[in-house]
Amino acid sequence: MNGHEHAGHRQRLKNRYLKEGLDSFEMHEVLELLLYYAIPRRDCNSTAHHLLGEFKSISNVLDTDVERLSKVDGIGENSAILLSLIPKIAKIYLQEKWSMDNKDTLGSFETIGRYAIGMFIGKKNEEFGIICLDSNRKVHYSGIVQKGSINETPAYPRLVVDAALRANAQTVVLCHNHPSGSILPSVADKEATEAIVNALEAISIDVLDHVIVSGDRFYSMAEMGQL
């Protein structure tokens, strides 16, 4: 494809997006369009196919770290950084949009779960987080307390207590992700929950829920009567 034909192909793909959105796009075309903004004057179609051949899905591509992406043929540092930014920007977008739509108040199991989902976008390993609320269930702090392996996160009560005290929380929601796909609590999850609840109760902080997240699904231990 010569330079003129290549420029025409790029513009046609952009025009399709402007007219139709991404619903009619093949997955390689989505990646190709994205790569235009990091690779200004080279055919991105073969690079997009190469990425999908290597990582099997767009989500896997976007979850891959910059160092590994940079080693893929046709992908330099700029392209790798752009790709790795997408899930992180999506996390910020969803949390801010959720906050604007719900005024940062976690008034139901559904809103708690949706908020927790936003905390773990793009996370490949297990992590344990905390959401701190005031007496009106308004969020004034949320963050990751402990990072673990892909199989388990050691949820140390002391770390959770320290985070809750620093945030001056009156009520907290515990949350962690299961990258493996299951949202059901394990025996270790239940034991860790009990230990943390006891530790927080000792300093008069209530645990409202413990939410387990996997992808866009969540499991509320409180809603299921396990808290």
Q: What is the amino acid identity at position 203?
A: I
Same domain, 10 and 63: yes
Task: Give the model's pLDDT for residue 216.
Answer: 86
Assigned domain for 215 exists: yes
Place of tokens 């739509």: 101
Q: What is the pLDDT of residues 91-131, one digit of tens each?
A: 788 777 666 555 567 888 998 998 899 888 878 889 999 99
Task: Give the model's pLDDT for residue 67.
Answer: 93
Same domain, 32 and 128: no
Same domain, 77 and 46: yes
Task: Give the model's pLDDT for residue 151.
Answer: 62
Task: Give the model's pLDDT for residue 168.
Answer: 87
Assigned domain for 57 exists: yes
Assigned domain for 56 exists: yes
Task: Give the model's pLDDT for residue 98.
Answer: 62
Residue 162 lies in domain: 103-220
Q: What is the pLDDT of residues 199-208, one digit of tens each?
A: 999 999 999 9
User: pTM above 0.75?
Assistant: no
What's the domain count of the chain? 2
Same domain, 73 and 112: no
The CATH number of the domain where 154 resides is what?
A: 3.40.140.10
Arithmetic mean of pLDDT, 54-73: 91
* Selected residue with higher pLDDT from 1 and 34: 34
Q: Tell me what the pLDDT averaged over the chain comes to.
A: 87
Assigned domain for 227 exists: no
End-of-domain residue from the set 55, 90, 125: 90
Assigned domain for 226 exists: no
Band of residue 138 on the pLDDT scale cut at 50, 70, 90: confident
Q: What is the pLDDT of residues 164-173, one digit of tens each?
A: 998 888 899 9
Task: Give the model's pLDDT for residue 5.
Answer: 55
The CATH number of the domain where 50 resides is what?
A: 1.10.150
Percent of the chain residues topping a pLDDT of 90:
50
Long-range contacts of 216-224 (CB under 8 A, 24+ apart): 216/117, 217/117, 217/183, 218/113, 218/114, 218/116, 218/117, 218/183, 219/183, 219/184, 219/185, 220/109, 220/112, 220/113, 221/185, 221/193, 222/109, 223/109
Task: Give the model's pLDDT for residue 152.
Answer: 67
Same domain, 116 and 202: yes
Q: b/e string for 5-31 if b means 16 or more Cβ within 10 A?
A: eeeeebeebeeeeeeeeeeebeebbbb
